[in-house]
Structure 1
Amino acid sequence: MEEVSRIGTIGMGGSARAPFAVDPTRSRGRVVPEPDSPTRTPFQRDRDRIVHSTAFRRLKHKTQVFISHESDHFRTRLTHTIEVSQIARAFARALRLDEDLTEAVALVHDFGHTPFGHAGERALDRRMRAFGGFDHNAQALRIVAHLERRYADFDGLNLAWETLEGLVKHNGPLTGPHAETKAVPLPILEFDAGFPLMLNSFPSLEAQAAAISDDIAYNTHDLDDGIRAGLIEISDLAELSLAGDILREVEARHPGLDPERKSHEIMRRHITRMVEDVIATTLLGLSEVAPADADAVRAAGRTLVAFSPAMKAAVEETRRFLFAHVYRSPAVWRTMELAEGVVEDLFDAFTADPSRLPDGWAAQAAALPPERLARRVSDYLSGMTDTFALAEHRRLFDATPQLS
């Protein structure tokens, strides 16, 4: 463990990129070849393209857990994404990974989310079930590969292979013995047929760092937003092993601290505990596997950027707590059921009469076969913000529910 701590100190000090990190000078390229930039690595260019995209801006008005117009203090998909990228960069520095690739994967990971969070995804998946279903990860790939229309030489953002790999399989292999699910979304299979992403291998450490940063961010900040929404009290955290231990620590060190400061103090320590646990666990795993390069990481047979068993159990406990007290609370669930109805109404209206789609989307839509029309409509709907979806519903229907 002394060696692990020493390696961690070196990593935190900003030493050169580790041999198991992805090397930007050896990128596997892009779907449409482009000349190298004299001033930026491929992953720096990807990060910049992601930040300047339309899909990134739309995250500002997409629900994380709570409808954003209810309060300016609740997280949106954009603020969540920024928080994930900050944590992911910390891992990249500590582990001596490629920070730009890590950040790019973190920034793009939620591009495919619908309006109204997982409620919109559930609604679209139901309507798309006969046509291959709807998956937000697969939709993010469609956005960066096809739907963004900014560049003269190609559709999409033409991201590097390594960024696309991280986007598609940051949660692990999609095929083979280590895949958690059997069914790979159709848009991913179609893309992979022309530009293979090694769906049966584990992703890079950079992608793994982005994935676990997502877990850390939402486990912490959904607790914080739940407190802000009045669904849970700070004292309720006492039943959790991780947050409860931190609560008792903060109360002992700062007796009489006002609730707002107390909540912030708990949440910042909550993130720190998980980050430090992941760094220590990952460094230990790296010392055991000793991957010589990024391809050895992909072939390692396990996720290396991980929680310790004790922390993993605490994270799962927190997730169950959030489902019971926040995600499935009557107030949130009622709002999300109404939101699902909005998305389903819009899908039905546009597939029944494609001329209702706006210019650009409606062109030739009526002549498309049912499966292609359904996918075109789901592309349009998934790109909507909460506010635009409600505005479209008001345009097409006499009555639109009040989501608050």
Structure 2
Amino acid sequence: MPRRRLVSPLVPPNKPILALGLEGSANKLGIGIVEHTPDGETIIRSNVRHTYITPPGEGFLPRDTAQHHREWIMKVLKDACKVAGVGVGDVDCICYTKGPGMGAPLQSVALVARTLSLLYSKPIIGVNHCVGHIEIARVITHAHNPVVLYVSGGNTQVIAYSKQCYRIFGETLDIAVGNCLDRFARVVGLPNDPSPGYNIEQLAKKKGRKLVTLPYATKGMDVSLAGILSSIEAYTLDKRFRPDLELDSSTTDEDIITPADLCFSLQETVFAMLVEITERAMAHVRSKEVLIVGGVGCNERLQEMMGVMAQERGGKVFATDERFCIDNGIMIAQAGILAYRMGQQTMLEDTTCTQRFRTDEVQVTWRA
């Protein structure tokens, strides 16, 4: 756990606070400014983002992603300050993503955050990326004490809060759900703009698509996705697979497998597994609320399936749209400002990054 020192005294609650958040753990570079008012209201002053998009069939490499962040970060920073109507010197603290994520992009953004902190003599707070997702979603949705399903390109976790810690009840044993979707999108040649997962979701909505058999791998509270990915990739080598077929409502040939069939089947199988382990966690902690966070949380089909389960339990699903689900700077600002109000600050020598910074390593001092 990273060392922190206390700012003395605690930040007075009757003072408005501005936080600048910098996020760059993967291919999204985001900078946002959040204000906490004395009456407890959270105001999003700006939320600016730029995405590194690669050609179809290609993923994003750490070195190239870091170069993208270095090229764009000053423009994104200036735009965020312009939208918010403030300068860097006006904020009370600077927050950056400490991890988890890709090493080179994380370091590029952390260097800028550290430089701004030194130039403007502002306290700096290293933020856990996963906790950032949870905290901004709690503000937006007003969820009280939900079970959290965190689904993104690099993480798949079922989380619940207990005793000042976000505890992980279940997670992926190999690859994350977002990584699974992205890799399959590359296999079938789907574009990366705006995102591979979004394009899979749209193709899965096509009329006439059918379900093909895939392995269903839940391991208690955990899931395994690598085998599902291998199985669905095998379908693309089947002689029945027609990658160029334009699927419509008149397609009735059961011997033909289309990209829409595979996209639909992958979503249905993987999302059913996620709903199952989330329901187990709800039963364990006796919660009737589910909060879906992370980039894959934008998927309408996942929200729909989770909603059916929650409704059967007399509960409710909370989710946000792409402004808040997809990696952004305001989630880092929100988590950082909560820590700052509790008197926390990252020591300068600890303003490093780590690719493996688990959600349950963070002391959540701002929750009772």
Q: Shorter-chain TM-score: which interval?
A: 0.3 to 0.5
The answer to which structure, 1 or 2, has the higher relative contact order (CA under 8 A, 6+ apart) is: 2
What TM-score do the two structures reach when normalised by structure 1?
0.31
